[in-house]
């Protein structure tokens, strides 16, 4: 089955700097890669996703890149703000599957 | 807005007790999921259901069962709770890929 590895487990950045979180997946048939943000004490929420027919997707300060050959995808946050502090989860799903497999999560701390 | 409601935010149970965690969604979603969240392990899928009375095992189904008698309700059952089932349990529903999560149920088994 699918296995998703996520790095780093914790990341501290200064406000205004960029943050990058990386994930690798094992199943070459996976074709959907979302990112979820979970603020302290709250539920995870989708912030951006990418499908395998696209190499990059942007939404304001966040972007996701996908390298299908290397089987890895990354989340990029520019001009970080204190409200970006949260746990971020990457995930992957196969073409015919219903289930998402999540990475272990990254705790992002933005210091002001 | 999609609303996924979990009946209990916090539960404390004793080893061997039977535990029911209830989840209701109000958007007529076909798919519903139960995840377990533990620090450093991310979100691990216990069971999911893609239709009424249908269920499929996820990655860690041992010690759990589920019930989906109505489309809007998906229940997670711990037949005999054990201390290693102390965790945060998250229910989710989805229509076209995006998962909508409930607030979570934090279960402590003593």
- Digit-coded pLDDT (tens) for B39-76: 989 999 999 999 999 999 999 999 999 999 999 999 99
Distance from CA of B95 to the nearest CA of A (A): 10
Residue in chain A lying closest to B101 (CA): A43
CA B100 to each of CA A19, A25, A93, B14, B79: distance values in angstroms, whole numbers, following the listed order: 25, 23, 16, 30, 26
Residue in chain A lying closest to B58 (CA): A99
Q: Is B101 within 8 Å of A44 when comparing Cβ atoms?
A: yes
Top pLDDT among B15 and B95 is at B15
Q: Does residue A101 sit at the B interface (CB-CB below 8 Å)?
A: yes
Q: Does residue B48 sit at the A interface (CB-CB below 8 Å)?
A: yes
Top pLDDT among A106 and A94 is at A106
Q: Does residue B58 sit at the A interface (CB-CB below 8 Å)?
A: yes
Token duo for residue B78: 């711990």
Q: Does residue B31 sit at the A interface (CB-CB below 8 Å)?
A: yes
Distance from CA of A33 to the nearest CA of B (A): 10
Q: Does residue B104 sit at the A interface (CB-CB below 8 Å)?
A: yes
Q: Is A44 within 8 Å of B99 when comparing Cβ atoms?
A: yes
pLDDT, tens digit, 9 for 90 and up, residues A59-103? 999 999 999 999 999 999 999 999 999 999 999 997 666 788 999
User: In terms of C-beta density within 10 A (0-12 exposed, 13-18 middle, 19 or more buried), how is residue A44 classed?
Assistant: buried
A1 pLDDT tier (thresholds 50, 70, 90): confident
In chain B, the percentage of residues whose pLDDT exceeds 90 is 85
pLDDT, tens digit, 9 for 90 and up, residues A5-47? 999 999 999 999 999 999 999 998 899 999 999 999 999 999 9
Helix H, strand E, coil C: the string for chain A is: CCCEEEECCEEEEECCCCEEEEEEECCCCEEEEEEEEECCCCCCEEEEEEECCCCEEEECCEEEEEECCCCEEEEEECCCCHHHCEEEEEEEEECCCCCCEECCCEEEEEEC
- Cα separation of A5 and A23, whole Å? 5
B12 pLDDT tier (thresholds 50, 70, 90): very high
**Interface mutation vs chain A, best among B23, B33, B43, B55, most A CBs within 10 Å:** B43
Q: Look at residue A52 in the predicted model and tell me its pLDDT.
A: 82
């Amino acid at each position: 089955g699918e296995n998703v590895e996520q790095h780093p487990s914790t990341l501290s950045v200064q406000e205004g700097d960029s943050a990058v979180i990386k994930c690798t997946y094992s199943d070459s048939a996976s074709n959907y890669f979302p990112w979820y943000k979970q603020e302290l004490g709250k539920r995870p929420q989708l912030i951006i996703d990418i499908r395998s027919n696209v190499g990059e997707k942007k939404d304001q300060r966040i972007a996701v890149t996908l390298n299908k050959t290397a089987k890895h995808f990354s989340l990029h946050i520019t001009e970080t703000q204190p409200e970006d502090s949260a746990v971020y989860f990457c995930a992957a799903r196969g073409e015919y599957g219903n289930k998402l497999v999540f990475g272990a999560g990254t705790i992002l701390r933005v210091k002001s | 807005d999609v609303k996924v409601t979990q009946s209990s935010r916090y539960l404390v149970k004793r080893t061997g007790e039977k535990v029911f965690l209830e989840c209701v969604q109000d958007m007529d979603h076909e798919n519903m999921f139960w995840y377990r969240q533990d620090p450093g392990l991310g979100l691990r899928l216990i069971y999911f259901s893609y239709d009424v009375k249908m269920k499929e095992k996820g990655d860690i189904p041992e010690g759990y069962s589920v019930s989906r008698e109505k489309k809007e309700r998906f229940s997670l059952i711990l037949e005999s709770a054990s201390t290693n089932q102390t965790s945060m349990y998250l229910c989710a529903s989805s229509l076209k890929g995006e998962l909508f999560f409930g607030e979570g149920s934090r279960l402590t088994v003593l």
